[in-house]
Structure 1
Amino acid sequence: MTQDPPRLSVTSQDVANHAGVSRSTVSSILNGKDARFPQETRDRVYAAATELGYRPSHAGRALAMGKSDIALLLMPNATFGPQLQEGIDSLAGVAATHGLTLMVRFADPDADETLRAILNLRPAVVVDLGVLDQAGRELVQAAGVRLVPQVINNESNEVDLLIGRMQVAEALSNGRRRLVYASLADWRLDPVGPIRLRGAEAEAASRGVDVTHIHVPLKAAGATEALAQVTAGSAERLAVCCYNDDVAIAILAAARQLRLAVPDEISVIGVDHTAIGQLVFPRLTSIAVDFAALMEALLRELDTNGYGPPARPDLRSSVRLVAGDTT
């Protein structure tokens, strides 16, 4: 006896009805986010999907409905700390509760190519981490695709502005120093570094202090050269606010080469609170960012179903100073 071929019309709702659970439960379990469900529930969903011959088809749904069940996380081809993976995992779980499957895509160097990819994929939602300009956002929205966040304005940069301000406040907490902001010298895009620099400059200005800006490569010789440019001929104590922990570790290596005592002659503060930053000596002072909370705050906009602005989340609570031994 041969088994009947699976019906092409089977949907996740059919599976949910057959298993006696909600559609969001089916989406979560079949997308691998099943840890919070009892084993009996998982077994019922898997059994129902097998019996009905259910196979998710993003392409088929896109053709039939004009859009897919994909939530597309659009990321600049930039440098992000390892904690971003936690945020992506959290975002995938939140998307699943809305019957969506998360897909991550890095931006192309050609903005038009990025737009073509989005429109061809026909996602239900695009979570834009600073890739699209206003014209691109309008084109995507005109195609019926929801954008998160809905509005790009100064508040959208609140977290990175706050990071820069927090770094300067910590850098000057033990007395006046010459302030330096160290960006990452890298070929990739840097959508948040300039914002953090603006935050640092704003906080410094409020305290009557100037900020010197340098670019630091993640190589010992290049980092030493960059730091030497701001220390040559000066006996001032320095405070270096770094784009991330990688840059901060490069600055620490350069300080050793230049025989600068940390934190007496030069203090250093990073961003991301990485594990490696806590293993170096001296232990790095850093700004910890709860990427999972930030991602969840973004996707809460889906709960509005497109009607009206969402409640503004408290993004400031996702950023905190972790004191180390370098400030």
Structure 2
Amino acid sequence: MGRPNVTSADVAAAAGVSRATVSYVLNGVDARVSDQTRERVLAAARELGYTPNAMASALRAGRTSVVIFALPNWPLGPVVAELLTGLVGELDRLGYTPLVHFVHAGGPDGLQKACDRVRPVGLIAPGTDLPPLDLLRANGCRGIVTLGQPPEPGVPSFSLDQRSVGAVAIEHLAERGHTNVLAVTPLGSQLQPLGEQRLAGARAAAERLGVTLTDVPANGLARGLARRPTAVYAFNDEIALGARDSLPPGVALIGTDDSPPARLAHPRLTTIKLGTPEGHREMVRTLHALIEGREVDATPVVIKPRVIQGETT
């Protein structure tokens, strides 16, 4: 907890730098400050217990430091946890105050209300759930990045085609000679839309590659195995690991998410990774550039899923 009498001048004196340098470092401003100097300033701030006055900083800068990440209606599994960790960590490193908002928790206009209340300087949100852009900008939102389809040209977007996840799984299995594949889909309304999209991609790839594809819900595994598949594609690693002990010897298995349990499993589960830490950082860097008033390349970024080869295929 910060000591109330410690000022940025104290931090500057302790670090042997100017107050301007302290401001650059603590506010994440792109300035030519060496990594060594940056670490010295941060160490001095920690040692002195210095906490910037958020209200005063906002008044001086003419904006808040808040960035809202509007989380879509996704299951809170390993992929979302990794995404949140990456985004929040990078936002914090750049001097922002991250605020996670659950899109569907506050009703259809919940995100608009949240933006009205905290007046974020930046927003990362699903393109389908964005409040009107003119209202956001009038509230001081300088940077807007969307997940999925942007509302208008020029707004940077990052998206993952869920159909491609299923397609990548079937392509991987087909390359290994499997022509009879069982797809195990999720249970529950929250996962159903993602499951349907991935299954649609798997079906399209199977038809293209001459693979016979059968699908069953997670509680119908025994029924699906009666069709004697040579490989199983599971919607996520949790389903894959739950099915593993029920598979006959020699049946290949691929999951999705590259979750910690998949990495620690013996044998190591083959799985599909949906994003990377570098991709998360790129999203935040794009937002930061917009907030700083710099031009960015607004070409939509499509995240490509990739197979993490394990020992089960």
Q: Structures share a fold, TM > 0.5?
A: yes
1:56 counterpart (54, 57, 68): 54
Tell me what 2:153 maps to: none
The structure-2 alpha-carbon separation of the partners of 1:54 and 1:231, relative to structure 1 and needing over 3 Å to count, comes to: closer
Instruction: Give, in angstroms, the shift of residue 143 of structure 1.
Output: 2.4
* Structure 2 residue aligned with 1:310: 298
Deviation at 1:189, TM superposition (A): 5.2
1:160–1:196 contact (8 Å) kept in structure 2: yes
Equivalent residue number for residue 107 of structure 1: 103
Query: TM-score, normalised on structure 2?
Result: 0.72
- Counterpart in 2 of 1:272? 257
**Unmatched 5+ stretches in structure 1:** 30-34, 217-222
Q: Residues 1-327 of structure 1: matches in 2 within 5 Å? A: 19-21=19-21, 23-27=23-27, 39-45=39-45, 50=50, 54-57=52-55, 61=58, 65=62, 68-82=64-78, 84-96=80-92, 98-109=94-105, 110-128=107-125, 130=126, 133=128, 136-139=129-132, 142-144=135-137, 145=141, 146-149=143-146, 152=149, 156-158=158-160, 160-188=162-190, 192-209=194-211, 211-216=213-218, 223=219, 226-232=220-226, 234=227, 236-253=228-245, 256=246, 260-262=247-249, 264=250, 266-302=251-287, 303-304=289-290, 305=293, 307=295, 309-310=297-298, 315-316=303-304, 319-327=305-313
Identity of aligned residues (%): 21
Give the total of aligned pairs. Answer: 286
Question: Scaled by the length of structure 1, what TM-score is found?
Answer: 0.69
- Relative distance call for 1:120 and 1:192 in structure 2 (3 A) is farther
Residues 42-77 of structure 1: CA deviation (Å, up to 9, x unaligned): 244458984xx842249x949x95x63211111134
Q: Structure 1 pair 309/198, CA: closer, same or farther in 2 (3 Å)?
A: farther
CA distance in structure 2 between the aligned counterparts of 1:204 and 1:41, rounded to whole angstroms? 57
Q: Deviations along 1:130-178, whole A, 9 cap, x unmatched?
A: 4x52xx425255321342138717x854454433222111222222333
- Distance in 1, matches of 2:84 and 2:36, equals 18
- Give secondary structure in 2 for the equivalent of 1:127: strand
The 1:209–1:142 alpha-carbon spacing in structure 2 relative to 1, beyond 3 Å, is farther
* Uncovered stretches (5+) of structure 2, i.e. residues with no partner: 30-34, 151-156
2:11–2:22 contact (8 Å) kept in structure 1: no
Mark the CA change 1:243 to 1:28 in structure 2 (over 3 Å): closer, same or farther. Answer: farther
SS at match of 1:149: strand
**1:196, CA displacement in angstroms?**
2.8
